[in-house]
Structure 1
């Protein structure tokens, strides 16, 4: 499909899932859809959407949006005022509340039956580095995918409103600044992809405390410092940290990376690597010099030839020395004859 998102969709007040992915739609972010309070899944991936994604509050706010996929478009600008739901942590509580009311359960009842509620709709999302087709969308599943766009600026601090987020993908953008330490508060986070950006600074130690994190990709940024240690971080491969020249520590211990800083001015130990190319040049120079000098000492014929060549060179540079040296030479050879 081509063209723009029909404005009449804002009148579908009972709409729960809108999947416009993999088309040729060229439009700005459809802020009118924020009037649909029942919307839970919004997929706009692989189109030609462009511009910013910030919307005015006059359009309303999403109360139940749990999946928003804007990947592979041309969105730009920052996301500090991102028009995402301000109640992601309430999503599970909403469905649990509905389940209690439906089954006439007391408020203090805690159970997991509400997880059996699904949306009977299949969508394709990127989770844990792979394209996955969700045949059924669990009511408590939360995902934000803004990858492969032109977003820039710093990543805003996300606090308790994103506590229940499970998949977060901001890869292949132009984000700068540091990784917010508040990402460590996403206790339900299972997949985090920040690769292919311009992020700098250190990896927050709090990320190592996320017990559900099973996929992490921070590759191709400008991160520095020691990689945090933790039960989950020890399971990640080198590919999760490649392309960050300033990172060191496990699992990059055996790779060519910057050495950790040393205290008290002690220089880091360097590996004793022999540069054979340089040694070959030095050996050749010494060997050639030795042959030349040895020939002068031990070969009379070579020595005479060498003196004669040097003499001619000196006369070419200083021709006025020829007469003076010639007179001296005649004096040297005549004196022996006079003694006879």
Structure 2
């Protein structure tokens, strides 16, 4: 029922020879030098509760063949060479009893599995009151109890759980190449204590629905590509939060510096140039909504405006001089000009014809008198 050989120097592969009648409840191979892939026949171990393959050299895709093991509570694949997507697709009935999943420090890619999150029922019951440990009693020896021991990372520390409390819940997907938005489905895991999505390539805003994780004690979203502001409701609802790390993203706006959030230092927010307010030294009241133009830009633009006005004025004067100058000082030009203007007016307004002829006759008589 138990195979626990953690922290040795075992090498080679995990052989694909698990029996169809496999009754393993705990398989702990953490901290060895094992390579190869996760055996397909391990999926026949229908009673498996704890699977810890962390800190080895296993190179394989995400073991989707294990998703039918409904009894699985703990899945640790940390610090191996796993790759590809962690979304197995298909029906969302994967691991309803799962309470601890640690896939950190691998090469997983793609988006977080939305449907699978809804299947992790054990992380949803925030009102769970049963205080129990993962353990089993060896048959015919009721006085002998075996209790699993695993190492988890939370609150910035490596913690060895000598007894795995069924109330303890944790998700660690840090140090991979996961991208896309943080799924809002995470907000349904109301009993979650530790959440670490740091050092990935996650984008988009921080979902305000994560404020539903009222039991959360550690939240690490650092070193991603998250944008937008920090949801103000976090400070109201995440009252048990002891560790917060939002550093090295692209967050903007004021920091909700009240209640539990008033206990976090500047290190929780560093690397976000758009954030302001306590505990940072940047005052939100002094942060302009849009950067004002520089002195050189302002004077450069005003110079362009003045030049535009001057060019218009020069053009008007030059054109006026070309047309009016000859009319005033060149008699032949003025006579030719007025004659053509009269002809155009007669074509447009025929009734002007008599007046124009009379004016021309008077002009010719006056010209004769001068001679």
Task: Give distance in 2, aligned partners of 1:220 and 1:2.
Answer: 34
Is 1:40 the counterpart of 2:67? The answer is no
1:81 to 102, 114, 128: 114
TM-superposed deviation, 1:14: 0.6
Partner of 1:233: 261
CA contact (8 A) 1:170 1:195 kept: yes
1:158 to 185, 194, 218: 185
TM-superposed deviation, 1:136: 1.4
1:122 to 149, 165, 172: 149
TM-superposed deviation, 1:92: 6.7
1:252 to 271, 280, 303: 280
CA distances 1:254-275 after superposition (whole Å, capped 9, x unpaired): xx67764469x9x9xxxxxxxx
TM-superposed deviation, 1:132: 1.7
CA contact (8 A) 1:91 1:140 kept: no
Task: Give distance in 2, aligned partners of 1:221 and 1:19.
Answer: 32
Write out aligned runs for 1:121-140 (5 A).
121-140=148-167
Count of residues in Structure 1 that have an aligned counterpart in Structure 2: 246
Task: Give distance in 2, aligned partners of 1:124 and 1:223.
Answer: 32
CA contact (8 A) 2:99 2:120 kept: no
Is 1:212 the counterpart of 2:228? The answer is no
Task: Give distance in 2, aligned partners of 1:91 and 1:32.
Answer: 27
Task: Give distance in 1, aligned partners of 2:47 and 2:155.
Answer: 31
2:210 to 179, 183, 190: 183
Task: Give distance in 2, aligned partners of 1:217 and 1:223.
Answer: 12
Task: Give distance in 1, aligned partners of 2:195 and 2:187.
Answer: 15
1:19/1:178 CA distance change after superposition, 3 Å:
same
SS in 2 for 1:138: coil
TM-superposed deviation, 1:81: 3.1
Partner of 1:5: 38
In the superposition, the TM-score normalised over structure 2's length comes to: 0.62
Write out aligned runs for 1:11-30 (5 A).
11-30=44-63
CA contact (8 A) 2:220 2:246 kept: yes
TM-superposed deviation, 1:137: 1.3
1:115/1:260 CA distance change after superposition, 3 Å:
farther
CA contact (8 A) 2:35 2:56 kept: yes
TM-superposed deviation, 1:206: 1.5
CA contact (8 A) 1:159 1:185 kept: no
Segment of structure 1 superposing worse, 2-11 or 160-169: 160-169
Q: Indicate the structure whose relative CO is greater, using CA pairs within 8 Å and at least 6 residues apart.
A: 1
Task: Give distance in 2, aligned partners of 1:39 and 1:24.
Answer: 23
Stretches of structure 1 that go unaligned for 5 or more consecutive residues are 97-111, 268-340
SS in 1 for 2:271: coil
TM-superposed deviation, 1:88: 3.5
Stretches of structure 2 that go unaligned for 5 or more consecutive residues are 1-33, 136-146, 293-371
Task: Give distance in 2, aligned partners of 1:75 and 1:260.
Answer: 42
